[in-house]
Structure 1
Amino acid sequence: DARTFVCQVGEGSHVMGENQTRLHVYKVPEAPEIVASSGGASVQSSEIPEIARCVSRNSFPPPNITWHKNGEQLQLEENMVKMPFTLTRESSGLYTVSSTLFAHVTREDRNSLYHCSVHYWLRGQRRTVESRRVNITVFYPAEHVKLQVMPSSALVKEGDDVQLVCEADGNPAPVFSFFKRGLDDIWHDLSSLADTNSGVLNLHDVNKSSSGLYRCQTLDLDDMRQLEKDVELVVNWKPRIVAISSPLYVRQDEVVNLTCKAIAFPRPSVHWNVNGTAHEYVENQHIASNLTVRVSHDLLRAGAMCRVSNALGVSEKHIQLLDQKIQESKGVIIVVIIVCILVVAVLGSVIYFLHKKGKIACGRAGKQDM
């Protein structure tokens, strides 16, 4: 029915005048339907990837379709943005219009929202109907990797279960590998203990030997790019005294050094129960305390106590002091006894030898008298 109508005025076959009018028929289009690309789009694609398709049905006259990203209308751009348009006249005389958006994407487009708009005329006014917003899956390689200890490294103590969590900012997630640096500076592969898909390395019942430098390495299977990140795991443990100068032989009023060595992390404090001048030496997790003290009668009798402590616990050991004079007198007595035994043994051997050779006359006379 959309056509021009003519009105003529006349007499017989003679036309006196005429006028015409145009009848416009409008059919409001249906709301546009948008379908995002199910395959997603890669930032590394050499071809322009498909973003979404838009369709509007049953309109007259045919409307136009525009595309928008984050609310801003997109324009055609050579080798960057394409929006091919299709117009179909149905048997009913109404039109179906469709358009497909092709556009290169960036990492930031993982959060972008796309929609299409259908524009049509109604009674001389331009109207617009918008589709819903859609988001597409964007694939991009990792640029950064993060490795952290869970729970916080400052809280890890012996016996804890620890996770090393590796995260990369790529999509899809890359393949994760884990390593630990040995004492020989060689990296030992721990990937067999890890979930290489989720990027988690589980360490159970850790001890001080679990401390060290760990590395997470990522591999992007698309471009074979590798990234890596290191983290230091420090296992805290309570003090253990590993050496003391005990027993220690001293003389009263003598100035001596008492030694106490321990290992712990964090660094412990060392306390003595006697007064003196203390000097501490620290190397890695080892600490040694030397106490210079004058030996008194009370110290000789009671000994000294070394106490090592940190936030995780306490370790104590007693240092025994022995009087060196008593020790020396005991040694002299033992030497005298040994000498006496040796002399008796030698004399006995001589007498026995002479008796066998018949050199002792009193022995034979005694036998004859009997």
Structure 2
Amino acid sequence: MSCSSCIMRILLYCSTALYAFNVKITPSENQIRTTGDKLRLTCTVTFTPEEFEDVDEKTWSGFEYPNGADTNKLKQRKEKLPASNKIRTTISIRDGSAGLSGDYKCSYGDQSKTLSVTFNEKLTFVDSAEVAIGKQIEVGTKSFDCKAKPNDLKYSWTNGTNEKPKEGKTLDFGDGVTKDFNENTEYVCEINRASTGDFETLTYKFAVVYTPEVTIPKSSFVRKEGDSVSLVCNVDAKPAADITWSRSGKVLEGQTGTTLKLDNLTFADHNGKYKCKASNGIGKPASGNIDVTVVVPPKASITQGESVNVKEGDKLKLDCSASGQPKPSKFIWTLPDGTQQPEGAIFRSDANSNHNGEFTCSAWNEVEGETYGPGNATIKVAVQYSPKNKSPSTTIYGVEGKNTEMKCIISANPNATVSWNEDPKKLNTTNSVSDEPTETISIYTVLASAATYKSYTCSAKNSIGSEEFSFELKKATPPAKPEAPSATDEQIMYQSITFNWKSPDSVIPITSYKISYTDKDGNEKDTVSAGADTSMQLTGLKEETEYTFYITAQNEAGDSEKSSGVTLTTKKPVPPTVKITKNETVDTSMKFTYKIDVLGAENLKSIDITYYELRADGTKGPETKKTFTSDQFKFNKEDKIGTANLTGLEAGKTYEAVIVVYNDKIGSEPQKIKFEMKPDTRSSTATVIGVMLGIIIVLLVFVDISCYYMRQGGLMMTCHKALCSEPEPKVPESSNEEAEKGSSRARKW
């Protein structure tokens, strides 16, 4: 060993022995913190008592800061602790940041300690916890990224299941979020810093949102003025959308619902295009259009006014116009005789007698194939014309020996003078004006005979002209030969047949018909008058009998030739077919409802019901038979349904009945039916009420006896005191003390 080395060892040993202090930093381990954290660093130097006396903490430099540290944020506090022979310096970091990271060195003499401090950026999610619970996510979104600070973090997702966490910041929604997405599922995003191992989590619960979807159930309405209409706009949106309505671009204030009700429609205030607009801040607003057409029905008017005069043969022109929305496009003229001419708004014609009277112009407008109207306007047209014959016929048929009227009906404007070209002494005429103001009626009455069967002339004249009209009086004849009567199978019964026939030709009205018939041996039977009808039911026939029937028509001129005969055979009676369709109990009676499929004869005659009790041991009770005549049961021939009531039965018992229905000739097959009568609930109810009343009375007596023996009052005690007790003597007035003693005795008693 060299001499210099030895000297150095000796000096080091001596210095150590001379200065025995110790430097210590608290905390002793290097610090990794997050920005914003607080941190306190303490450097303590411990001395021996001898050394401590010479220490001056003010000349001690304390901590050395990291290079570039913002010393304005670092403050040291030095202090001397005599009790423990220590000096101490403290640095308090109140808001840690990356600029304060580095090595903090504390030295004293030749001793020093160094502490490394690192402030990492705080793990922070972009979304707050409040935002994450209810985080809005649009329909169709296929993924969602978890965002946090600082960079270079490790991300993973879990969704509350036992599945292994999925690495990465992106949460995958597959084909996209749908409207039925489960909003209750929790998704947890975890961020982790590999260098330090610290981590944070954020729980998301997604709220599905989507842009409004507007559906218009009906996009077009046509209504008349004064009507009402409801416009419906169905909106599907999340969150709920704000709805506004507008008409022709103008917003309708206060209308924010899905239904817009419009009352008392007018064209000016309500006709147009309506828009329903929905917005909820998600995507673009949605809208739908509804067309409302307010129809103003036509109002017609005629240019010529209320009336016009014209002569026969002159030109007649009538102009019609109409207002309305939309503009009326269809016009029809109705003439005085009721005929119609769809010639448009203008009527043109040469005036004639058929034009005399009231014309009506009718106007319609049309929307989407539907017409509205009519709007009518009328005008009276007075046409002056020469006489016209309006008689229904100019050929008259008279029955010889009877008076016959020939009626000459003349239409003329002005009214005509009417006369017959016959010997005035032989004339028997009556003239009058009909309900039509332009018609005149002249009736010539003549006795029909060979001498009066001839031609007659009716003359008519007015200021426009004159005319003659010929009438022919002919001899009336009996009706033509009628066709044979007929009857369908349903009309042929057992003792009757319903006939139908056609009315034959006749120059005068038919007054009656006669039906005659013969049996198979040719013997003629009764002849029956059928009146003027062309159908009749013939009764009183025998069953299973063949007849030949004829028809004869009659008028005032005589009988027609007898028709050809028709041979028919009445039916053979058969038993009625009966089916019991329903039975119902009413108190102590049974109501049967039956249906007759085949009546088998003309009428139902009677119903026999034989019934007996079915006992519990399986035996039968005595038989009882009841016969119902036709006035004791109901039967409707139209629907062939009837009812019968069986009375005198006992409640709660089971019966069996055999039913036979008879028509005029024969009975049906027996119909057997089993039924059970309802129990008599009235008697059982009375029994229950009686028992309950008895129990109540017994309880009242028991309570009364108990009260008597316990000296607590009651009916028995009241009676006892009234009958058995002596009257109490009157107590004279005394002191309060005696009164109290008497009261006490009374209470004891």
Give the TM-score of the pair, scaled to structure 2: 0.24
- Choose 1 or 2 for highest CA Rg: 2
Give the TM-score of the pair, scaled to structure 1: 0.44
